[in-house]
Amino acid sequence: MELILKKDVDNLGFADDVVTVKNGYGRNFLIPQGYAILATDSAKKVLAENLRQRAHKEEGIIKEAKEDAKKLDGLDLKITAKAGAGDKLFGSVTDANLSEALADKGVDIDSKFISIFGGNIKRLGQYDAKIRFHREVVVDFTFEVIAEA
């Protein structure tokens, strides 16, 4: 079944992508939840026209996303957390904590666009995260979790 996505869907595609999925997934989940519509000939024509009109606006958005991504170059970020014996943290450091720390440094990014490799952090050390400013602008970022003094 061919569908046009109305919203970004993890592990499937971004908004306005034409994707092929199994009938049950499309009819029972994507369409009722409002994530997609059927890709009929008329819907494809409307999509093509909308994409043509949006292409010019998209260039400006991508340029702005690249400028935001450049702010991360050379940024040394250290997140402090309470730690016990053996470098083990009390609690964990999550995407939201990283988002707050970046906001303090002047880079505002929503935590849903940040993914830390390996999930939540439970030990001190250096870690990597993938930050998505735009579907075409994704940056790998390294930061460090240190113990509170």
Full 3-state SS string of the chain: CEEEECCCECCCECCCCEEECCHHHHHHHHHHHCCEEECCHHHHHHHHHHHHHHHHHHHHHHHHHHHHHHCCCCCCCEEEECECHHHEEEEEECHHHHHHHHHHCCCCCCHHHEEECCCCEEECEEEEEEEEEECCEEEEEEEEEEECC
Read off the amino acid at residue 105: K
Written as six digits, the tokens of 17 are 């992508």
Q: What is the CA radius of gyration of the chain?
A: 20
Which pLDDT value is given to residue 51? 87
Class at the top of the CATH hierarchy for domain 70-147: alpha beta
Tokens of 11: 């592990």
Q: How far is CA 19 from the centre of its chain?
A: 20
pLDDT value, residue 34: 95
Domain with CATH 3.40.5.10 in the chain: 2-62
2-62: CATH topology is: Ribosomal Protein L9; domain 1 (3.40.5)
- Residue intervals of the chain classified under CATH 3.10.430.100 are 70-147
Can you give the pLDDT of all 149 residues of the chain as single tens digits? Answer: 999 999 999 899 999 999 999 999 999 999 999 999 999 999 999 999 988 888 888 888 889 889 888 888 888 899 999 998 888 999 899 999 999 999 998 888 888 899 998 888 999 999 999 999 888 889 999 999 999 87
